Amino acid sequence: SSPAQKLVFNRVNGKRPQVLPQHVLASEESYTLAHEENVRFVHEAWQQVEQQLDGSQRGENVCGPVQYVEKTPNPGLKNFVPIDLEEWWAQQFLAKIENCS
C-alpha cells in the first residue's frame, strides 16, 4: 500500500491571505467560490441519497441508504422543526441583494 497523500496549501502568488478586521467579518458573511462549490457538492450528494432512499422505500433498490428511525424518541425534541436549508439560502441571498441596493 502507498503512503497517504499529504495536503499542501500554497499561498496565492506567495502572499499571505488578507486578514479582515473582526467587525467586518461579524457584519457580513462572504462566500468564497470554494464554499459555494462545497455547498453545491453536499446538496447534489444529498439529492442522490434522497432519490436512492425513495427508490429503496418503493422496493426498487435492494441495497442503498437506510433511513434511521429512533425507537424511543427524546421527549425534549418533540417540538423540533428541521430547518429548510433551501429556504434559508434563499433568504440569505435576498437579504444580500437588499443590502447591496
Please determine, for residue 25, whether its predicted confidence score (pLDDT) is greater than 80.
no
pLDDT of the residue at 65 = 76
Instruction: Report, as an integer, the average pLDDT of 11-26.
Output: 55
Position 60 confidence tier, pLDDT thresholds 50, 70, 90: low
Measure the CA angle with vertex 92, ends 87 and 93; round to 5°: 95
Among 45, 83, 88, 52, residue whose Cα is nearest residue 67: 52
List, for residues 35-48, the tens digit of each pLDDT value: 999 999 999 999 99
pLDDT of the residue at 29 = 67
Which residue type is seen at 68? Answer: Y
Q: Which residue has the higher pLDDT, 73 or 11?
A: 73
Highest mean pLDDT among 17-21, 23-27, 78-82: 78-82
Q: How far is the C-alpha of 25 from the C-alpha of 20, rounded, in Å?
A: 7
Residue with cell 430547518: 83
pLDDT of the residue at 24 = 46
